[in-house]
Homo-oligomer: A and B are copies of this chain.
Amino acid sequence: MNNFTFQCATKIIFGRDTEHQVGAEVKRYADKVLLHYGGGSIKKSGLYDRVVASLKESGVEIVELGGVQPNPRVSLVRRGIELCREQNIPFILAVGGGSVIDSAKAISVGILYDGDVWDFYSGKAEVERCLPVGAVLTIPAAGSEASIGSVITNEDGWYKKSVDNDLLRPVFAIMNPELTFTLPPYQTACGAADIMAHIMERYFTNTPDVDFTDRLCEATLKTIIENVPIAIENPEDYAARAQIMWASTVAHNGLLGTGREEDWASHQIEHELSALYDVAHGAGLAVVFPAWMKYVYRRNVPRFVQFAVRVWNVEQDFHNPERTALKGIEKTKEFFASIGLPVTLEQLGIKDDRLEEMADRCTKGNTVTKGFFVKLDKDDIVEIYKLARE
């Protein structure tokens, strides 16, 4: 087990009707807020009206910026920064899923920085301060509501890059599982793949002596595996939606990675798919992760056996650990397929004419490796893309 520091101060306000508390929560920090959101879904669902009513009731002045897209764009972030500066806005409220929250985080760091906000994502600048961000979550997936991360896409070259910093954790996250009732099956499934990937990026480690976090990871994975099919079958099953929603936050708030080296190659291999083809992140992960597993499992067969047995209840073949390990990988892929996700590049609508290019971008022209479970260079990543065709 490695030394670690862990602090997740995000206040979680969870349950039915909790969106009515948003005004009071914002008011602890500010009298004026940038209300940041995506398309029309929060207006259709009535959430927009409830949030606005609660803010007004608390005497919070509202400036709006909608229009966040999936794979949120740096251009809108820049508009948000300008708006906040012009109007002297001290607090960003994100109402939506991970894209909206990530965009809000980007605005919050950009405001207090003299240069261009993309500098943080390109690695040119480091986050030292930011405005507080609050979230009303509508999609359990990205975990951004309590995470240290923000992922933004730059349309100039279609780069998708992330920043991780403890300062980026929202100060509060309001989570009402009822708000997720309207998520269609495909989006629910994409969320599941994202959540599971956040756990598996931490689970597959070579750090020894991490029993406790192993078991927490397994507990969280099993919760998703059990409840997602229920939520897809019956979108208004509060119990299933609630389990998924809370598990999605814990999956990515950092707890499950305490004391262990994490991997994150699959996320970065997927980011190239999202960047070039604008596919849903979760769908891309459902394709990439099993391929990554097949490519790397020999590095630590016992860990993949543990995964198969504990997470997927695979009957262990004590004489052939590799067979058990492979069954766990197969089960993962089968699960993704069973909830309606693509599991091959073809099903994702991606031909194999740009695999080299994506691997090249991912490794910056083969100058850096990706991942820690196994360090992958450009050729490795090409092989993983190839495995993702099957």
Residues of A whose CB lies within 8 Å of any CB of B are 1-18, 208-209, 211-213, 215-216, 218-220, 222-223, 226-227, 238-239, 242-243, 246-247, 250, 255, 258-259
Nearest Cβ in chain B — how far from A176, in angstroms?
Answer: 9
If the complex has contacts A211-B227, A219-B218, A226-B211, are A6 and B1 also in contact, measured as CB distance less than 8 A? Answer: no
Chain B residues near A223 (CB, 8 Å)?
211-212, 215
In this complex, the member of A3, A5, A212, A259 whose beta carbon has the largest number of chain B beta carbons within 10 angstroms is: A212
Contacts of A3 in B (CB 8 A): 14-18
Per the bound structure, the CA–CA distance linking A15 and B218 in Å amounts to: 23
Known: A212-B219, A212-B223. A11 touches B5 (CB 8 A): yes
* Structural contact, A220 and B227, CB atoms closer than 8 A: no
- Are B4 and A7 interface neighbours, CB within 8 A? no
The reply to whether A209 and B243 form a contact with Cβ atoms under 8 Å apart is yes
Q: How far is the CB of A241 from chain B (nearest CB, A)?
A: 10
Tell me the minimal C-beta distance from A211 to chain B in angstroms: 5
| A247 CA to B7 CA, complexed, in Å | 16
Contacts of A218 in B (CB 8 A): 215, 219
> Nearest Cβ in chain B — how far from A209, in angstroms?
3
Complex Cα–Cα for A3 and B19 (A)? 12
A212 proximity list for chain B (CB < 8 A): 219-220, 223, 243, 246-247, 250
Interchain nearest-CB distance for A206 vs B (Å): 14
- Cα A18 to Cα B2 with chains together (Å): 12
CB distance from A226 to the nearest CB of B (A): 6
How distant is A289 from chain B, measured CB to nearest CB, in Å?
21
- Bound complex: CA A1 to CA B238 (Å): 9
- Asked, given contacts A209-B239, A211-B226, A243-B211, whether A8 binds B6 with beta carbons under 8 Å apart, the answer is no
Give every chain B residue within 8 A of A16 (Cβ-Cβ).
3
Bound complex: CA of A222 vs CA of B8, how far in Å?
Answer: 24
Hey, which chain B residues are within 8 Å of A215, CB to CB? 218-220, 222-223
Contacts of A255 in B (CB 8 A): 250, 255
A5 vs B222: C-alpha distance when bound (angstroms) = 24
Given A219-B215, A219-B219, A227-B211, do A15 and B4 touch, yes or no (CB 8 Å)? Answer: yes
A1 and chain B: residue at smallest CB distance: B242
Are the CB atoms of B209 and A242 closer together than 8 Å?
yes
CA distance A108 to B11 in the complex (A): 23
Specify which chain B residues have a CB less than 8 angstroms from the CB of A226 in the assembled complex: 211
- B-side contacts of A213, CB under 8 Å: 246
Q: Residue of B at shortest CB range from A10?
A: B7
**Contact, CB under 8 Å: A259 / B239:** no
With the chains together, A259 CA to B6 CA distance in Å? Answer: 23
Q: Please, which residue of chain B has its CB at the minimum distance from the CB of A12?
A: B6
Query: What are the nearest 10 A-B pairs in CB distance?
Result: A3-B15, A209-B239, A215-B219, A9-B9, A7-B11, A212-B223, A219-B219, A6-B12, A1-B242, A212-B243
